[in-house]
């Protein structure tokens, strides 16, 4: 026998030996252990990609992850060999999909998925269209073991066998493992789930305390009985605590500027700008302003330098908070699940005005079914609801939405024909996530060169923002041509972030343009959106205190002399100097709360603070919790009906 045949025989022998070993492992009790070890590694990958991207993984999180993995192992161990192997593979596939989906969604919205969002599946096509731009090469690690197993099974390199086990030994072994799993669940798993249930708003904290598996179990338990999440079951109890909270806020209602009722009888346009973050304002790239028209508007009028979005990041969430002065429920749920609720909304405030019969309108270049807007705005009693199918010229779509330019031009034509005065809520869309500007017919309307960022997600974002700014400039000119500009109050703001928190190109850009980029400022940059207002006679005013979307409705009511029966926000021109988000974050002029208090300027955790400052921060936290409890109860139990 020659050497080549010997080597070939050896290779075949080695292959058969490896195949035999792999098949033995696949069909033994060792296989679930190996797979669950891989699942633990995938969970650790998820943590490093999301909630602990710039820090070490908490020991509590690791313990919870191992605990739930072992509990799953004890469950799998109950089944006979063949069923155990099949179920192990199925569990691996399902958990990998969940971790991958959570990772993608967290990159998109700094949040993880919830079963309560099942009603959002009707918008799946639009939501899934953003996935390609969020993918990262590391995401394949969630599925690489599954791919290998499926390939080997398909090529019959591996075979799932029905091996009979020693009955007596098998039963004893399963009893021991089951008992151990039960003890672990009682001592660790149950405690982890309870810990997540104690933090209903901050999902990062829930995951840290109970692992991603504990979070999803707690999330399912919450979904089974949503009403248990509401602290207040009746209107009277809620209103009592609301009145007490607002009484505490009276100290913050001292106006820094006396603008009360100065806009009585004026027209109002509330313009919500898609994905426009504040960091692009007054910035240049390759010698050209990114947002020249917005810069001019904000610098000549009133600019809010610290307007923060709420933690849930859909466009509909921004609309909900701005219109009702309440926190949104999960991502889009306020519009998809609680659409028929009664709210004290801003449209009603204008309709009930004592001094003018306002025409109210809502305008969006999408169709009315998306985020259930058609039903929502009918429920709000809006006079004119203008969606894509109400515009005559829809010849230019950008990423499926009517282009901002066409929407703005035709919106002004519609407004001209409204009975005056009018109040219009307008939502732009061309700078939507994806940022490809697909459908834009004239590329010269993008007036910047992004240079080294060309072809990157960040570069595409800057180009989309620049086009949105071009269209905004057209809008202002059209209002002036129609004779509407001077007699119209304009409030504009970005709805939510466009770029994920730790986008490398964005951080490089911020560093090069001289911005502070400690970790706290990075987190604030993620949720800080462009915002400003035009009031007749008020020029070059900069408001630097923190404000949020809940403050929009009470501010408008203050300016227009309208009645606001129920608003959790406060007047943006008054003295309140802190805002809360619905993931239990707090932002003050100097401090930031994210499980712990941090100094915004230095990014460092607060160590030694005097007693009065400590009491003040405790007061802020208490007020935030009460706001969240009131808001959640109002939505879940429809307490304003």
pLDDT exceeds cutoff 70 at 9 = no
pLDDT band at 174 (very low <50, low <70, confident <90, very high): low
- Tell me the pLDDT tens digit for each residue of 63-93: 888 888 888 888 888 888 888 889 999 999 9
Q: Which helix (H) or strand (E) holds 144?
A: helix 144-154
Bridge-based pairing of strands 288-289 and 384-386 is unpaired
- Tell me the pLDDT tens digit for each residue of 479-526: 999 999 999 999 999 999 999 888 999 999 999 988 778 999 999 999
Overall average pLDDT of the 611-618 stretch = 88
Residue extents of the structural domains in the chain = 3-224, 236-637
Can you tell me the distance from the alpha carbon of 212 to that of 341, in angstroms, rounded to the nearest whole number? 32
Bridge-based pairing of strands 267-273 and 422-427 is parallel
Alpha helix segments (H runs only) across 380-503: 404-416, 457-481
Lowest mean pLDDT among 124-138, 274-288, 454-468, 598-612: 124-138
Tell me 265's DSSP state: T
Share the mean pLDDT of the chain: 88
Give how far the C-alpha of residue 308 lies from the chain's centroid of Cα atoms, to the nearest Å: 12
Q: What's the pLDDT at 577?
A: 86
Can you tell me the distance from the alpha carbon of 420 to that of 417, in angstroms, rounded to the nearest whole number? 9
Q: What's the pLDDT at 269?
A: 98
pLDDT band at 189 (very low <50, low <70, confident <90, very high): low
Number of Cβ within 10 Å of residue 589's Cβ equals 11
Q: What is the CATH topology of the domain spanning 236-637? A: Alkaline Phosphatase, subunit A (3.40.720)
pLDDT exceeds cutoff 60 at 1 = no
Can you tell me the distance from the alpha carbon of 405 to that of 579, in angstroms, rounded to the nearest whole number? 34
Most confident of 22-36, 215-229, 616-630: 616-630
CA angle 172, 176, 181 (to 5 degrees): 145
Residues 502, 139, 497, 465, CA torsion sign: positive
Bridge-based pairing of strands 596-599 and 541-543 is unpaired
pLDDT band at 122 (very low <50, low <70, confident <90, very high): low
Is the backbone of residue 585 left (phi > 0), alpha (psi -120 to 50) or beta? Answer: beta
Does 2 or 578 have the greater pLDDT score?
578
Overall average pLDDT of the 117-132 stretch = 65
Reading the block at residue 212, the tokens are 């991603």
Overall average pLDDT of the 404-433 stretch = 96
- Specify the residue for token string 């709000």: 380
If DSSP codes are grouped into helix, strand and coil, which group holds residue 329? coil
Q: What is the largest CA-CA distance in the chain?
A: 106
Q: What's the pLDDT at 182?
A: 66
pLDDT exceeds cutoff 90 at 116 = no
Reading the block at residue 379, the tokens are 């429920």
Contacts of 596 (CB under 8 A, 6+ apart): 605, 606
pLDDT exceeds cutoff 70 at 2 = no
Can you tell me the distance from the alpha carbon of 221 to that of 229, in angstroms, rounded to the nearest whole number? 10
Q: What's the pLDDT at 94?
A: 95
Can you tell me the distance from the alpha carbon of 248 to that of 256, in angstroms, rounded to the nearest whole number? 18
Residues 297, 301, 306, 311, CA torsion sign: negative
The whole-model pTM stands at 0.89
Q: Which helix (H) or strand (E) holds 288?
A: strand 288-289
């Amino acid at each position: 026998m020659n050497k080549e045949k010997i080597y070939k025989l050896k290779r075949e022998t080695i292959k058969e030996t490896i195949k035999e070993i792999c098949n033995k492992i696949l069909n033994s009790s060792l296989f679930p252990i190996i797979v669950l070890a891989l699942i633990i590694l995938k969970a650790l990958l998820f943590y490093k990609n999301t909630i602990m991207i710039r820090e070490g993984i908490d020991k509590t999180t690791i313990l919870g992850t191992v605990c739930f993995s072992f509990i799953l192992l004890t469950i799998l161990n109950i089944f006979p060999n063949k069923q155990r192997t099949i179920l192990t593979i199925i569990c691996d596939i399902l958990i990998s999909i969940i971790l991958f989906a959570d990772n993608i969604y967290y990159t998109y919205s700094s949040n993880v998925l919830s079963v309560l969002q099942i009603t959002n599946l009707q918008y799946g096509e639009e939501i899934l269209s953003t996935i390609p731009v969020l993918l990262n090469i590391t995401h394949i690690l969630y599925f690489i073991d599954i791919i290998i197993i499926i390939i080997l099974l398909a090529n019959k390199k591996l075979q799932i066998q029905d091996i009979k086990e020693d009955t007596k030994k098998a039963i004893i072994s399963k009893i021991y493992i089951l008992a151990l799993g039960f003890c672990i669940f009682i001592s660790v798993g149950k405690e982890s789930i309870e810990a997540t249930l104690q933090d209903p708003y901050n999902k990062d904290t829930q995951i840290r305390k109970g692992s991603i598996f504990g979070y999803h179990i707690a999330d399912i338990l919450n979904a089974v009985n949503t009403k248990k999440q509401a602290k207040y079951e009746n209107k009277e109890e809620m209103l009592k605590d609301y009145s007490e909270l607002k009484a505490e806020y009276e100290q913050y209602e001292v106006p820094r500027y006396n603008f009360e009722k100065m806009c009585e009888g004026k027209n109002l346009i509330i313009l919500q700008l898609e994905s426009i973050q504040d960091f692009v304002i007054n910035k240049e790239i390759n010698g050209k302003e990114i947002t020249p028209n917005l810069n001019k508007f904000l610098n000549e009028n009133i600019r809010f330098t610290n307007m923060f979005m709420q933690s849930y990041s859909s466009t509909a969430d921004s609309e909900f908070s701005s219109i009702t002065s309440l926190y949104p429920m999960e991502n889009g749920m306020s519009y998809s699940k609680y659409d028929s609720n009664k709210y004290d909304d801003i449209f009603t405030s204008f309709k009930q005005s004592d001094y003018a019969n306002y025409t109210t309108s809502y305008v969006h270049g999408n169709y009315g079914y998306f985020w259930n807007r058609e039903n929502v705005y009918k429920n709000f009693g809006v006079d004119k609801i203008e969606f894509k199918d109400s515009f005559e010229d829809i010849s230019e779509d950008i990423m499926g939405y009517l282009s901002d330019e066409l929407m703005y031009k035709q919106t002004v034509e519609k407004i001209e024909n409204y009975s005056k005065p009018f109040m219009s809520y307008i939502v732009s869309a061309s700078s939507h996530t994806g940022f490809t500007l697909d459908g834009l017919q004239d590329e010269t309307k993008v007036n910047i060169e992004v240079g080294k960022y060309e072809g990157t997600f960040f570069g595409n974002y800057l180009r989309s923002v620049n086009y949105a700014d071009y269209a905004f400039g057209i809008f202002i000119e059209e209002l002036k041509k129609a004779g509407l500009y001077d007699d119209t109050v304009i409030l504009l703001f970005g709805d939510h972030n466009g770029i994920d928190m730790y986008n490398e190109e964005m951080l490089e850009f911020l560093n090069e343009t001289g911005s502070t980029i400690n970790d706290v400022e990075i987190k604030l940059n993620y949720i800080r959106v462009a915002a400003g207002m035009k009031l007749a006679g008020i020029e070059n005013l900069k408001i630097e205190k923190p404000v949020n979307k809940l403050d929009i409705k009470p501010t408008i009511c203050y300016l227009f002399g309208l009645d606001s029966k129920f608003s959790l926000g406060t007047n943006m021109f008054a003295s309140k100097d802190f805002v809360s988000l619905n993931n239990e974050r707090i932002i003050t002029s100097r401090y930031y709360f994210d499980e712990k208090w941090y100094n915004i300027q230095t990014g460092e955790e607060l160590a030694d603070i005097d007693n009065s400052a400590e009491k003040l921060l405790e007061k802020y936290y208490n007020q935030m919790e009460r706001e969240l409890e009131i808001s959640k109860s109002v939505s879940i139990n429809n307490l304003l009906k």
